[in-house]
Amino acid sequence: MKKGTDIERIIILEENVKADLFRCKVCTINFTAFQPCIMCQLVIEKEQELGRKLTKEEFRSLTNSLLGEIK
């Protein structure tokens, strides 16, 4: 791939899924082929499991497991 080439399409071969990349409709930060992005989906699932919004500390703990420690 050439330097500076934009990636606009994702293909997952095992599942034969093809999708265009867009910004996540929830956070508008992450690019994703699926809505919502994986980060937002994790938060949504955890909030549904708890039956409430996450606290700042719970959110930080959840995202740290994927991204490493955020300060």
Residue pLDDT, tens place only, 26-61: 988 888 777 888 889 999 999 999 999 999 999 988
Query: Between 25 and 18, whose confidence is greater?
Result: 25
Outline where DSSP puts E strands in the chain. Answer: 9-12, 17-20, 22-23, 31-32
Taking only Cα atoms into account, the Rg of the chain, rounded to an integer number of angstroms, comes to 15
d(CA 12, CA 28): 23
d(CA 70, CA 60): 7
Statement: residue 66 has pLDDT above 80: no
d(CA 61, CA 48): 17
Scan for tokens 């708890």, then name that residue: 50
Confidence label for 1 from pLDDT (cuts 50, 70 and 90): very low
